[in-house]
Structure 1
Amino acid sequence: MNVAENEIKSVMDKYRKFAVYGLSPDPTKPSHYVPLYMRDHGWEMVGTYPKPHEANGFTIYKSLTEIPKEYRKFIDVFRASEKIPEVVDEAIALGGVEVLWLQLGIHHAAAEAKAEKAGIKVVSNRCLIIEHKKWF
């Protein structure tokens, strides 16, 4: 993680639109209710998921490449830690990604270092809901 604790609020404040990598159709999963919470508190987001689905009015795309650029600057990731190298490679290849937020329990030191080297700010092992409640 290359974003300092005292920078988290400003990062969240700057990026009011983001993409949710792995936005689940299952309302019991964090990858569904975290985006709902953030939307209810003024953020806008779209999601990616490999299978088409309806999720509380969120627009779901099959991949990051299909997501409009204004949502791809900040990517909130809900993938297993071992999948993070693939996500980082995709984000770097796509270009335009400024922040990669790895949700609570998700981290991969080598992939994070690769993203940072490519100029991407990385927040890892942090929940947007917890950080929102802490800073806003």
Structure 2
Amino acid sequence: MPLTDPQDIAALLRETRTIALVGISDRPDRPSYGVMRVLQQHGYRVLPVNPQIAGEHVHGEFVWGRLSDIGVPIDMVDIFRRPGAAGEAVDDAIAAGARSVWMQLGVVNDAAAARAEAAGLKVVMDRCPAIEIPRLGIAPIIAD
């Protein structure tokens, strides 16, 4: 069952440091572009993933083609994909050893969520961390 309790979501956001953002856009008018910036401003390291713009940079970070290319531990995979394509991103998150998956507003895929949970990942669905962070009063991350 995806996390819905505000305390559970807040705890997840507080324990997360590195976020892979699947479906990043290099277009400033796209939601993923703005959400990445908000997450960075809050202190998260955000690693953008999009095979169509791999090798470019968004908000100062190298854009990866696939999650499997990243090669560093990933706490959360934030998914900006259509609900039908979210399953592949969830499977990639499981294979990459991520600790959680976050499906953005409008992204609901119950089968993918069940696979993630069965693999031990925490799941948030149909929410946006850039909205939840201020709503829940999550303090910015201070470098360890």
Give the TM-score normalised by structure 2: 0.86
Q: Work out the number of aligned pairs and report it.
A: 134
CA distance in 1, matches of 2:24, 2:78: 9
Match of 2:128 in 1: 127
Structure 2 gap ranges (5+): 138-144
How many Å apart are 1:17 and its aligned residue?
1.5
Structure 1 gap ranges (5+): none
CA distance in 2, matches of 1:30, 1:120: 25
Tell me which moved more, 117-126 or 49-58: 49-58
Match of 1:60 in 2: 63
Alpha carbons 2:48, 2:58 under 8 Å: kept: no
Give the TM-score normalised by structure 1: 0.91
CA distance in 1, matches of 2:44, 2:98: 18
Report % sequence identity. 33
CA distance in 1, matches of 2:8, 2:90: 21
Confirm or deny that 1:69 pairs with 2:72: yes
SS in 1 for 2:107: coil
Query: Which residues of 2 match residues 107-126 of structure 1 at below 5 A?
Result: 107-126=108-127
SS in 2 for 1:69: coil
Match of 2:140 in 1: none
Match of 1:78 in 2: 80
Query: Which residues of 2 match residues 83-94 of structure 1 at below 5 A?
Result: 83-94=85-96
Cα root mean square deviation, aligned: 1.4
Alpha carbons 2:90, 2:112 under 8 Å: kept: yes
CA offset digits 1:21-79 (Å, max 9, x no partner)? 11110111111100101111211111111123332212211100111322x22111111
